[in-house]
């Protein structure tokens, strides 16, 4: 992985010439594009102070951190949210293998260097959580602390991931298995990106879980034989949701209507490649100061309860593990005030906290 510093190049808020984009949803922040070994990464930053790098998941955007950027900036941090490669205005390599975990780690290191920094705290949600965790695991010299949202840290195990996922789903096909074949999920999603996103977001939100539901039931996230993943979505999604407005959905949909979903889906298509790449780190603990925030009703948090129980061994630097009552998967969007408080309180305990703050 290259560690050479790059000079950031500023990009226009409108993206590619002629591209239609809604009004900037966070006008006080700065957009720029920086060079990385695999191309470019678009990022949004706000504030000054110690660097906090935020990494989103699927199917999201830098915009997923819209509530955290101003809050962390106000707390004395240089808050930066990226479009992960394959998303938004970041590069979208054609090769599936370009989305392996090692490539994402290299991107994050290059972003830190391009911003003129030597170290950063890294924060991730959904797929961004394992990307953040592995960035810290592989480059502890750069990423000095790590906060994980929704998906807890789980070291590489002995079972090939696609073999494990093939056992899930009951009579159907677990959604990660469904995502493996290039073009298959795209054919479902891309004819109606906005409608599909609305259903996907709603199906994983805490406000969509009824008292009789078990959010940890993996069959709820499986594709029936001959069916589509959207067959399991709520039938009538009415906006605004408590945490998602029509304008929010328009922003996400606009990004994916322009870029397609292949870049994001290619992350899932590298799970076996990651398992091979990371063989030397089987069972390895993540030792930096750490924080975990999950939702009580979040499916991945429920599925990975064993990983949370193993934190004393796998995350020995863990400061605290929080499960937010009634919260679903979109933790920092569903509960922005709570997440902002937990993040800033934790950040203030770290050695790089801004002068004048205290834990």
The answer to whether residue 126 is catalytic is yes
Check whether the bond before 47 is cis (ω within 30° of 0).
Answer: no
Catalytic annotation, pick one of 42, 104, 125, 329:
329
Task: List residues bridging with 282 in a β-sheet.
Answer: 156
Q: Tell which residue, 333, 48, 75, 66, has the closest CA to residue 204.
A: 333
The answer to whether residue 329 is catalytic is yes
* Complete DSSP assignment for 210-240: -TT--TT-GGGGEEPTT--GGGGS-S---SP
- Residue 175, Cβ density class (10 Å: 0-12 exposed, 13-18 middle, ≥19 buried): buried
Q: Are strands 30-36 and 290-295 parallel, antiparallel or unpaired?
A: unpaired
The tally of CA atoms less than 13 A away on the side-chain side of residue 78 is 14
**Could you give the angle at which helices 128-138 and 101-114 cross, rounded to 10 degrees?**
70
Catalytic annotation, pick one of 107, 126, 274, 298:
126
Give per-residue burial for 27-43: e unless 16+ CB within 10 Å, then b.
eebebbbbbbebebbbb
Active site amino acids: 126, 329
């Amino acid at each position: 992985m290259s560690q050479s510093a790059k000079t950031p190049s500023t990009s226009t808020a409108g993206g590619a010439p002629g591209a239609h984009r809604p009004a900037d949803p966070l006008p006080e922040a700065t957009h720029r594009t920086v060079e990385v070994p695999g191309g470019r990464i678009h990022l949004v930053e706000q504030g000054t102070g110690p660097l906090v790098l935020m990494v989103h998941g699927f199917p999201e955007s830098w915009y997923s951190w819209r509530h955290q950027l101003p809050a962390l900036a106000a707390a004395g941090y240089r808050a930066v949210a990226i479009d992960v490669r394959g998303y938004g205005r970041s590069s979208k390599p054609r090769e599936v293998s370009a989305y392996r975990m090692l490539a994402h780690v290299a991107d994050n290191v290059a972003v830190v260097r391009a911003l003129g920094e030597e170290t950063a705290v890294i924060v991730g949600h959904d797929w961004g959580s394992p990307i953040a965790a592995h960035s810290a695991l592989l480059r502890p010299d750069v990423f000095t602390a790590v906060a994980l949202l929704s998906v807890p840290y789980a070291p590489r195990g002995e079972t090939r991931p696609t073999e494990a996922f093939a056992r899930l789903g009951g009579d159907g096909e677990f959604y990660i298995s469904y995502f493996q074949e290039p073009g298959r999920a795209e054919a479902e999603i891309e004819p109606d990106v906005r409608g599909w996103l609305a259903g996907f977001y709603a199906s994983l939100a805490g406000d969509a879980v009824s008292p009789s539901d078990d959010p940890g039931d993996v069959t709820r996230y499986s594709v029936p034989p001959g069916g589509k993943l959207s067959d399991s979505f709520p039938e009538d999604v009415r906006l605004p949701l408590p945490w998602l407005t029509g304008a929010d959905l328009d922003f996400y949909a606009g990004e994916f209507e322009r870029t397609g979903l292949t870049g994001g889906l290619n992350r899932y298509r590298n799970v076996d490649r990651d398992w091979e790449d990371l063989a030397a780190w089987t069972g390895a603990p993540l030792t930096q100061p750490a924080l975990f925030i999950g939702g009580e009703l979040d499916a991945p948090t429920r599925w990975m309860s064993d990983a949370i129980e193993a934190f004393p061994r796998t995350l020995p630097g863990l400061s605290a593990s929080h499960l937010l009552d009634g919260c679903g998967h979109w933790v920092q969007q569903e509960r922005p005030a709570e997440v902002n408080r937990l993040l800033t309180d934790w950040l203030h305990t770290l050695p790089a906290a801004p002068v004048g703050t205290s834990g």
